[in-house]
Amino acid sequence: MPEEIFVVPEDAHPERADKLIVRHFPEVSRAAVQKAIERGKARRSDGKALQSKQKLFPGDVLVMDLSPDPVPSLRPVELPLDVLHEDEHLIAINKSSGMVVHPGEGTGEDTLVHALLHHCGEHLSSVGAPLRPGIVHRLDKETSGVIVVAKTDLAHHSLASQFAERETGKEYLALVVGVPREKSGSITLPVGRHPTVRVKMAVTEKGKSAHTDWAVDEVFGTSSALLRCRIHTGRTHQIRVHLTCLGHPVVGDETYGYKPARHDGPPAARAFLHAEKLSFSHPVSGDCLLLEAPLAQDFSHYLGVLREQFSGNAIA
């Protein structure tokens, strides 16, 4: 939309600027409004700067341009991919730790989508294009492991439905600080946006239902344990949040409670969480596909160090 004048209505209640603007322009996200304010594209009519948290009152006059940023075109980039399975309908990748799945604010040309555009050419689902062609689900940047991407729209809709209806099987390996008292358990605490730190998630009453089953696979003295986690829901950061609530944060995950000084193991360069197995029905044949991603080299090496240091014991 072009730059326009907005007068806060007389019947409006005093409210912080970003919330009030979103209330009157519901088609624009709060994040987009905050970005517009930061860039000076939403400001007071007298030229004075506006802040998101600043209160607006009836009669206040703003000059605003809430037009969305132009969508950039992505170019294919040749990046190494560990392909676990590929056919004309889908492709499954063992994503490396450190690789972002799709472009976003602050990302470069080293995302999985950039690599897939080079590998698959035009054979990616148009759903989610241009920034997320074929992307059905995601893994966090530091999480390694199996991720499936749709190459056709038919496959995309089928896979998206299976994820939404919880008809997929998802199993992760997580190395955690300390050793749980029980050999296995289930966590069903709701997960939602952190009330004060917007980039984090947390267990909160207002969150969405989340279900994680876990079992101890191997222990390393009292320092660490390797857990096998099966998730029945796919909330953002679900495993990381749930295991922290269990009292055993993922090794290397400083966002959710890992503190190097309080861990007996060697320093961890990243959060050791790996999506090991993913099962679903093939969108065309209906056959059950079970995809398994071997551990990343850094994760495997770290486990080897722990085994030497603590004589790791597998749990029967």
Q: Catalytic site residues?
A: 140
| Residue 163 backbone dihedrals phi, psi, to 5 degrees | -65, -45
Residue 240: C-alpha distances to residues 114, 213, 252 (Å): 27, 13, 11
Tokens of 175: 């190395």
Q: Look up residue 261 and give its two tokens.
A: 């000084």
CB of 65 closer than 8 Å to CB of 2:
yes
| Residue 237, phi then psi, degrees to nearest 5 | 60, 25
Give the sign of the dihedral formed by CA 141, CA 146, CA 147, CA 152.
positive
Convert 204-233 into a string of H (helix), E (strand) and C (coil): CCCCECCCEEEEEEEEECCCEEEEEEEECC
The helix-helix angle for 17-24 and 30-38 (nearest 10°) equals: 120
β-pairing, 273-281 vs 144-150, is: parallel
d(CA 293, CA 145): 6
Q: Yes or no: say if 252 and 270 are a contact pair by the CB < 8 Å rule.
A: yes
Is residue 303 classed as helix, strand or coil in its secondary structure? helix
Q: What would the two tokens of residue 150 be? A: 């749709």
Q: How many CA atoms lie within 13 A of 279 on its CB side?
A: 9
| Pairwise CA distance, residues 141 & 269, whole Å | 13
